[in-house]
Structure 1
Amino acid sequence: MSARRMQVWALDGIPEVTGDDDLAQLIGDAWAADADGIRDGDILVVTSKIVSKAEGRMLPASDREDAITAETVRVVATRGTTRIVESRLGIVGAAAGVDASNTPEGTVLLLPVDPDASARALCAALRERFGVPLGVIVSDTLGRAWRLGQTDIAIGAAGVQVVDDLRGETDAQGRPLLVTVPVVADEMAAASDLVKGKATGRPVAVVRGMAEYVTPEVDTPGARTLVRTGPADMFRLGTDEALAEGYAEGFAAGRAARD
């Protein structure tokens, strides 16, 4: 068996995006002009910021704290002015994804209203234009619990399989795989960020060589299916918050027993 090869590169030629722009047109024009062309099974990874800009998700920077509150459904932890929260998209991260980087001075951006729907619209438009099966991933930057720094993850996806469920198969030694479910959409998002960068003005990358994850249909289970909150959340609170909650509950129970 030959080794699998994956190519990842950023597209040039995408201008500053505004709320009046047709994002599929801008991306399609840049892709059509790219020297490496367009092939069946290519996957585009699109930075969520340009999706948000095209969808008019911009606010004055003075509204940032109110915007974070409005986008929050649950506070997980607070450290000083930093809030780790669960956003209305189910994503747990800092500031509910409200961000001031790569935005016009004095403004902040919210995440797209429905990143999976945004990915579906882009995927359908680009498939129609180029006549090839392709996938679209909408990515955003997120920190990880117990890890320094950030990486890009998939917050929206269409026309692409977001996980590779290997449970029930065997490893190279023939042992059964019981819990192995690689999140290929996140892995491609992270790889794409290496070539897009944060300050290069290249918000879209092409992933080639992963055609096995591109699906015939556009409307596939999206990135929202990757969210694990609610009953499946093993880490509902930050450590300090969990201790404080436990102390308060224990104190209340002790007082009730005494009374």
Structure 2
Amino acid sequence: MEAFAVPGLPEFEAGDDVAAAIESACDLRDDDVVCVASTIVSKAEGRTADLADYPAGPRAREIASRFEEQTGEERDPRFAQAVLEESTDLVMDEPFLLTETRFGHVGVNAGIDRSNTGGAELLLLPERPSESAERIRDGLPVDAPVIVTDTSGRSFRHGQTGVAIGWAGMPASRDWRGETDRDGHELEVTVESVVDELAATANLVSGEGDDGTPAVIVRDWAFGEHEGSANLYRDLESDFVRQALREWSYEG
């Protein structure tokens, strides 16, 4: 397969048509996978905000105060309030905010970005990124899957990588269970998160910082003859790390 950045995309604003911009910038094929950074999806959907939009409540002020005590760094309680309002579950509240978004993604600060915001103070994640991916896909002239990507840290590892937060036109993962390895042993647990792998591939090409390009085409990749699954996020009953964090307390 090959992966290449879509050239010449504009700075997106609320109401802009992401699909039309991608279509006009490159020749698409049915076997392409279109990976779109959540930043431009959020901008096109008007998901920008300012700290003044989030008057801090008691919980947010408590979180900000405790953070300053532990680290010596000041945190605006309005930012903590924004994170709380964009989250359905506060997995950890110290030494950083790890939360679950409305669509199931668990990440730091509910994925709220303060860089490349297009002039606003805050850039929020799309409310329902799989629906965003479906709308972009519907606007393309070809029958190509679409993945909405974001960068995210990972437990037990340094650094961030590209991950999928929304997708349309393809399963989230391919299921290898029941197939055999090269030694003839049956695979019992292998379920491959292909949307995350494609998002990471796109992130290698798109770059970071001020030289990033917000859309990448992955060409000549095939899902293969496997069963597919729509599941990407673990539920609480099967997420043992998250269960353990409920019993954990931070000692700085």
2:32 counterpart residue number: 42
Q: Give the TM-score taking structure 2 as reference length.
A: 0.81
Distance 1:211 1:40, change over 3 A: farther
What is the letter of the counterpart of residue 48 of structure 2? M
- Cα deviation, 1:210-255, whole Å, max 9, x if unaligned, reads 13369xxxxx975xx311132111112565x62449xxxxxxxxxx
Q: 221, 237, 242: which one pairs with 1:236?
A: 242
> For 1:160-171, what aligned pairs fall within 5 Å after superposition?
160-171=170-181
1:212 counterpart residue number: 223
Counterparts of 1:221 and 1:170, CA distance in 2: 19
- Cα deviation, 1:133-179, whole Å, max 9, x if unaligned, reads 21100001111111111111111111122211000000111110000
Q: Give the TM-score taking structure 1 as reference length.
A: 0.79
Structure 1 vs Structure 2: percent identity of aligned residues?
A: 41
What is the letter of the counterpart of residue 226 of structure 1? L
Counterparts of 1:190 and 1:243, CA distance in 2: 30
Counterparts of 2:248 and 2:133, CA distance in 1: 40
Helix, strand or coil at the partner of 2:191: coil
2:60 counterpart residue number: none
Helix, strand or coil at the partner of 2:11: coil
> For 1:97-136, what aligned pairs fall within 5 Å after superposition?
97-126=111-140, 129=141, 132-136=142-146
Please, what is the CA RMSD of the aligned residues? 2.1
Q: 106, 124, 137: which one pairs with 1:92?
A: 106
Counterparts of 1:90 and 1:236, CA distance in 2: 13
**Structure whose CA Rg is larger:** 1
Counterparts of 2:134 and 2:187, CA distance in 1: 32
What is the letter of the counterpart of residue 85 of structure 1? T
1:257 counterpart residue number: none
- Cα deviation, 1:32-84, whole Å, max 9, x if unaligned, reads xxxxx32221000000110010000000144432221101222222334x211
Q: Which runs of 5+ in 2 are unaligned?
A: 55-78
1:69 counterpart residue number: 84
Residues 202 and 216, structure 2, Cα contact 8 Å, conserved in 1: yes
- Cα deviation, 1:172-194, whole Å, max 9, x if unaligned, reads 11110000111011000001101
1:10 counterpart residue number: 5
1:3 counterpart residue number: none
For this pair of structures, how many residues does the alignment match?
222
1:255 counterpart residue number: none
Q: Which runs of 5+ in 1 are unaligned?
A: 1-5, 32-36, 215-219, 246-259
Distance 1:136 1:213, change over 3 A: farther
Counterparts of 1:19 and 1:157, CA distance in 2: 21
What is the letter of the counterpart of residue 214 of structure 2? P
> For 1:10-29, what aligned pairs fall within 5 Å after superposition?
10-29=5-24
